[in-house]
């Protein structure tokens, strides 16, 4: 393997990770990585001081949220390979080699560390584990791509490939957006199991499982419009058709009792027609998306052959 760690930048977003950031940096140095960038979200503990004392580059993010921090950091990095890792000490530096190997060998543009295979007891709360499974299932359904851990924060990718992605999400939806954009841009994504440890008792999670989980679910659904419009419009259509079937059943049942419900009948027809129309929208959009993908593939092929 032609590992060349000097071409790698380790990117660590931090928000009040004073308890762990020092060791995280030390561990990566011990693994042979010297280029390390900490992008800090205005920590009120000693995170920045500790990182600076370790002699790494520390940048204060200009806005708020993990997503904003990453988008800003991707612009600053000049190294051709990037490893993204949390600053909370839940992931191990030595796993970086596993994630980087396929990039160095040219087998992938983006490699995700799958936390859901080898995690230690206590690394996920029951709610977090359930949320992760639900979100991964929703992702499979919407994108038809078998990815096991789309929310993982431990990833390796090439600078070129990350700059190709159009990223706008400012909060914890950023990993979802990255995973979706990789699919839209036809990047080769691989996943490998990594270790995942419980958070240190002194570090506090910034992730709210219910609020952020809901936002992530909405993000998957909204972004599916561009990839799988039948899924996107189909869900809206199904809801209207379901409502139409319920009101229609009522109308029929009343009709057998000798009562004719005219306004309800009109409502039923409207609900069913609108629902069916959503499916037709979905099919038309699917056609547009398919044509668009074909065009993108042609452009990419031309670009690569040059």
Ligand X SMILES: Nc1nc2c(ncn2[C@@H]2O[C@H](COP(=O)(O)OP(=O)(O)OP(=O)(O)O)[C@@H](O)[C@H]2O)c(=O)[nH]1
Query: Which chain residues interact with ligand X by CB under 6 A?
Result: 13-15, 17, 39-41, 61, 64-66, 69, 86-88, 90, 128, 153, 199, 205-207
Handedness of CA 88, 94, 98, 104 (dihedral sign): positive
Match 């800090």 to its residue by tokens: 40
Site residues for Mg ion, 195-254, by CB under 5 A, read none
17 binds, among ligand X, Mg ion, none (CB under 5 to 8 A by kind): ligand X
From Mg ion, ligand X, none, which one binds at residue 248 (CB under 5 to 8 Å depending on kind)? Answer: none
Interior/surface letters 285-294, b for 16+ CB within 10 angstroms, e for the rest: bbeebeeeee
Q: Which of 96, 65, 209 is nearest to 151 (CA)?
A: 209
Of the candidates 172, 179, 168, 171, which has an alpha carbon nearest to the alpha carbon of residue 110?
179
**Closest distance between ligand X and the C-beta of residue 299, in Å?**
34
Least distance from C-beta 88 to Mg ion, angstroms? 4
- Judged by beta carbon distances under 5 to 8 A according to partner kind, the member of Mg ion, ligand X, none in contact with residue 107 is none
For 21-38, the DSSP string reads: HHHHHHHHHHTT---EEE
| 88 binds Mg ion, rule: CB under 5 A | yes
Q: Identify which of residues 90 and 187 has a Cβ nearer to Mg ion in the complex.
A: 90
Contact range with Mg ion by CB under 5 A, out of 58-66, 80-88, 117-125, 245-253: 80-88
Work out what residue 206 binds among ligand X, Mg ion, none; the CB cut-off runs from 5 to 8 Å by kind.
ligand X
Whether the Cβ atoms of residue 160 and residue 237 lie closer than 8 Å to each other: no
Is 14 a residue that touches Mg ion (CB under 5 A)?
no
Residues 73 and 11 sit within 8 Å (Cβ to Cβ): yes
Residue ranges binding Mg ion (CB under 5 A):
86, 88, 90
């Amino acid at each position: 393997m032609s590992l060349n760690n000097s071409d790698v930048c380790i990117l660590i977003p931090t928000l009040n990770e004073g308890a762990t950031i020092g060791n995280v940096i030390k561990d990566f140095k011990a693994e042979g990585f010297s280029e390390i960038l900490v992008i800090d979200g205005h920590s009120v503990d000693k995170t920045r001081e500790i990182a600076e004392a370790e002699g790494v580059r520390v940048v204060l993010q200009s806005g708020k949220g993990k997503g904003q921090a990453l988008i800003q950091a991707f612009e600053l990095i000049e190294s051709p390979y990037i490893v993204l890792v949390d600053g909370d000490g839940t992931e191990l530096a030595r796993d970086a080699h596993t994630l980087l190997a396929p990039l160095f060998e040219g087998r992938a543009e983006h490699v995700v560390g799958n936390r859901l295979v080898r995690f230690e007891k206590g690394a996920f709360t029951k709610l977090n584990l359930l949320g992760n499974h639900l979100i991964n299932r929703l992702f499979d359904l919407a994108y038809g791509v078998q990815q096991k851990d789309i929310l993982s924060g431990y990833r390796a990718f090439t600078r070129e490939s990350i700059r190709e992605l159009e990223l706008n999400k400012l909060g914890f939806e950023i990993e979802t957006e990255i995973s979706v954009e990789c699919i839209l841009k036809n990047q080769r994504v691989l996943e490998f199991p990594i270790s995942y440890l419980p958070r240190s008792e002194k570090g506090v999670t910034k992730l709210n499982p219910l609020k952020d989980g809901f936002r992530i679910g909405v993000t998957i659904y909204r972004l599916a419009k561009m990839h799988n419009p039948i899924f996107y419009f189909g869900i809206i259509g199904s809801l209207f058709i379901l409502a139409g079937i319920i009101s229609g059943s009522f109308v029929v049942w009343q009709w057998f009792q000798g009562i004719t419900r005219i306004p309800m009948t009109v409502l039923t027809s409207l609900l069913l027609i609108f629902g069916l129309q959503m499916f037709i929208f979905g099919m038309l959009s699917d056609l547009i998306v398919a044509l668009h993908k074909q065009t993108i593939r042609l452009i990419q092929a031309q670009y690569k052959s040059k």
